[in-house]
Structure 1
Amino acid sequence: MILVCGEALIDLFAGEPDGQALAARAIVGGSQFNVALGLARLGTPVGFLGGISTDRFGRFLADALEREGVDTRFLKLSQQPTPLAVVSTDAEGQPSYGFHSIDCAERDLEPADLPPIDAGITAVALGSYPIAVEPVGSTLLTLAERAAGRLVVSLDPNLRPSLIGDLDLWRQRFERFARTAAIIKLSREDLAIAFDAEPDAWAAEQLAGGARLVVVTDGAAGATAYHRQHRLHRPGRAVPVIDTVGAGDTFHAALLARLAQKNLLSRPALAGLELEALADLIDYAIGAAALTCMRRGADLPRRAEVEALLAGGADVPRA
C-alpha cells in the first residue's frame, strides 16, 4: 500500500454573482487528497494520513475517500475546521487559489498520530504546503525520516507561496525532506520560484544527494526525467484543455501507480530503471494528466481511461 500524507480540503469554485448571492460549487480537493484518489482510481492500494475535520465538509471528504476505496484508518479526526481553497481559472484554464487554512484540520497532526512503518506500506507520498506548516510539517518529517532507506519516499513540493511564509525557511525544510526521498517530482514553475535553478543542474544535485529519480514537469511541454543512468524528455499531449486543476497531482499519482503496476516501486528497482521502462513511466503519467486537463476541476482518471488513451482510443471511456 502507498501511504499518501498531507492535506484534504474543499475547492470552492465561485460562480457569477446574482444580486447579493454568489453561487459556488464545493468540490473535494487538496493536492495530497487528489493523489490518494488518483491512486485508488488507477487500481493501486492506497491509504490517506492526515487531519480531517468532523464538520460537514470534513465528513464530505472522508466519505469521498471511502467511496473511492482509499483506506481511511489513518485519518485523524479533528475538531478544527476544514480548510478552503477558493479557485478561479483564466482563459487558458490555469488556476489561481485563495486559501483559508489558518488553524484548520490539515495542520492538526502530531507524532503520536503516526502509524508504524510496517510491511503493509511500500511507499510514502508527501508534499504540498503541509510539509512547511506546523505541527503537521514536523510530524511528516518524522515519518519521512523513519521511512528513509526502507521505503520509497516520493516528494512533490507543489509550492504555495502564500501559505509557506519565509521562502528561505521553506528551502531548509524541503532539503531535509529531499534527503529522505527516492523520488522527487516538481513543476518547472516551482523550480523557478523556489530555487531559481535550471532543471539539469538542480536534478543532478538531488541525484547526488540520494534521490533515485527526479522528474520536472513543464505543463503542455511535457516532462523530463533524470536518473543516474538516463536523462529523458517526453513531450506533452495535445488535448483540448478545460482547466489544469489537479494535473500535477494526477501526474504524481500516475507515476507511483505505474511503478506499482510494473513492480518497480522499491529503491533497488528505481536505481536500476531501464530507459524503456522510464519512457513508459513518463508517458503514462503524461497521459493521465492530459485526461484531467480535459475535465473541469480535479476529476482524475481511472486506469481503463488512461489505458484507452495510450492505446489510441478515440473515445476514452468514463469509468
Structure 2
Amino acid sequence: MKTVYAIGEVLIDFVATEHANDLVMAGHFAKKPGGAPANVACAISKLGGQSAFLGAVGHDPFGEFLLEVLGKEGVDTHLAQRTHTFTTLAFVSLSAQGERDFVFSRGADKELKYDKRLKKVFKENMVHFGAATAFLGGELEGAYGRYFFDALTQGSFISFDPNYRENLWKDGPERFIKKCLPYIEKAHLCKFSLEEAQLLSGEQDVDKALDFFHQHSEAIICITLGEAGTRLSVPKFRDTIASISVDPIDTTGAGDAFMGCLLYQISQLENSFELAQSIPVLTQMVTRANRAGAHTTTGYGAIPALPDTQDLEKY
C-alpha cells in the first residue's frame, strides 16, 4: 500500500446552521474542519488507506483543533507546520438544495515552507495537489511548486484538483488558468468539476473540454457532474459513470470524498501507472468513488460526513 501525501490548506469552515441562499442571510455558524487537501487525506485514511498531510496551521486553538481532527481520522500529521499567523477560516452558507456560498479569511496556510527532506519520502508513493489557495502567493506557492518538481523526479503518482474558488480570484481567472496548466500536463490523475473543466479548457461542451485536456496530457481525467455521475476519460476511452440517488443536505467535500476514495483504491495497486490501460478496473473504481461523493452530501460538514468502508457497502 502506498502513502498519499496531500499538500495544501487545512482550515476551519464556519457553516451556517440554518439554510440561507447567501451569507448575507446567515446568522449562526457551527465550527467544522475543512480544506480540500485535508479532506482528501481524511477520506483516504477513513477507508483504511495511508495518508499524510502537508500544510500549515496557526499556534491557536483552531490550529490545535484541526491537527487533532486529522490525527483522530488516522492522517499522519507530523509533517504539518505551525506558524504564528492565525489559522485560515472560511464562512459557508447552505441553500435548501445543499449549494454553498462562502468567503475566505486567509491565514496560516500561505506560510507552508519547503522541506527538502521530503523528496526521498515521495519516492514510489503518491502526491496529491489540491490547489484552492496554493496559487495565491506566499511561501505555500513556492513550496507547492518545488514539491511538484520533487514528485516528478521521484517517480510519484501525481494527482491534481484545482479547487477553483471565484471569490479568491476577483481580478479574473487568467492567472489561475495559467498556473494550473503545468500540473494538468504532468499529473497522472486530474479531477475537475464541470465549471472548472469549462473554465480551464475554454470549452462549454464536456467532450470538447476533455479533448482539450488530452491535447496537453495523457492523464486520467474525471469531470464530476453531481447526480449525473462522472465523465471519465483517458486517451483511448471515454464514458459517463453513473452515480447513486441520494437526498443531499450539504455538498461540501463531495468532490474531495470522490478524490480520496479514488486515490485510496489506486494506492492499493502494485503499478498505479498502468491503471489507464485497465478500463474495467478504472470504471469500477470511479463507480465506487461516485458513491463516496454522494454519501458525503447526506451529512453536514466535509470531514464528519466522509464515508468509511461500511458506509460504502450500503450502496
TM-score, normalised via structure 2 length? 0.89
Does residue 95 of structure 2 align to residue 95 of structure 1? no
Residue in 1 that maps onto 2:179: 173
- Cα distance in 2 for partners of 1:122, 1:92 equals 38
- Of 100, 106, 110, 1:107 maps to 110
Contact 1:141 1:177 in 2 (8 A): no
Report the AA paired with residue 148 of structure 2: A
SS of residue paired to 1:2: strand
SS of residue paired to 1:99: strand
Contact 2:198 2:209 in 1 (8 A): no
Does residue 232 of structure 2 align to residue 232 of structure 1? no
Report the AA paired with residue 202 of structure 2: D
Cα shift at 1:294: 1.1
SS of residue paired to 1:48: strand
- Cα distance in 2 for partners of 1:83, 1:301 equals 25
Does residue 154 of structure 2 align to residue 186 of structure 1? no
Residue in 2 that maps onto 1:19: none
- Cα distance in 2 for partners of 1:183, 1:169 equals 22
- Cα distance in 1 for partners of 2:144, 2:206 equals 26
Number of equivalences = 300
Does residue 296 of structure 2 align to residue 307 of structure 1? no
- Cα distance in 1 for partners of 2:276, 2:247 equals 36
Does residue 162 of structure 2 align to residue 157 of structure 1? yes
- Of 39, 42, 48, 1:43 maps to 48
Contact 2:16 2:28 in 1 (8 A): yes
Cα shift at 1:276: 1.1
Contact 1:3 1:121 in 2 (8 A): no
Cα shift at 1:82: 0.9
Cα shift at 1:218: 0.7
- Greater relative contact order: 1 or 2 (C-alpha under 8 angstroms, separation 6 or more)? 2
- Cα distance in 1 for partners of 2:310, 2:16 equals 32
Q: Which moved more, 1:92-101 or 1:204-213?
A: 204-213
Which whole-Å deviations, capped at 9, do the CAs of 1:256-290 have from their partners, x for residues lacking one? Answer: 112223445x22x2342x22112201101101111
SS of residue paired to 1:184: strand
Residue in 2 that maps onto 1:10: 12
Contact 2:113 2:143 in 1 (8 A): yes
Q: Which runs of 5+ in 2 are unaligned?
A: 19-26
Cα shift at 1:166: 3.8
Which whole-Å deviations, capped at 9, do the CAs of 1:19-56 have from their partners, x for residues lacking one? Answer: xxx54210111111111111110111000001111110
Which whole-Å deviations, capped at 9, do the CAs of 1:96-143 have from their partners, x for residues lacking one? Answer: 111111xx1100013347622336661111123223112212321211
Contact 2:122 2:150 in 1 (8 A): no
Does residue 76 of structure 2 align to residue 76 of structure 1? no
Contact 2:124 2:157 in 1 (8 A): no
Report the AA paired with residue 128 of structure 1: A
Which whole-Å deviations, capped at 9, do the CAs of 1:78-111 have from their partners, x for residues lacking one? Answer: 111111111111121111111111xx11000133
- Cα distance in 1 for partners of 2:96, 2:40 equals 26
- Cα distance in 1 for partners of 2:270, 2:298 equals 29
Superposition RMSD on alpha carbons, in Å? 2.0
Cα shift at 1:297: 1.8
TM-score, normalised via structure 1 length? 0.88
Contact 1:14 1:87 in 2 (8 A): yes
Report the AA paired with residue 98 of structure 1: V
Contact 1:154 1:181 in 2 (8 A): yes
- The 1:262–1:307 alpha-carbon spacing in structure 2 relative to 1, beyond 3 Å, is farther
Report the AA paired with residue 129 of structure 1: A
Percent sequence identity over matched residues? 27
Residue in 1 that maps onto 2:23: none
- The 1:12–1:63 alpha-carbon spacing in structure 2 relative to 1, beyond 3 Å, is same
- Cα distance in 1 for partners of 2:145, 2:209 equals 22
Cα shift at 1:231: 0.7
Cα shift at 1:178: 1.6
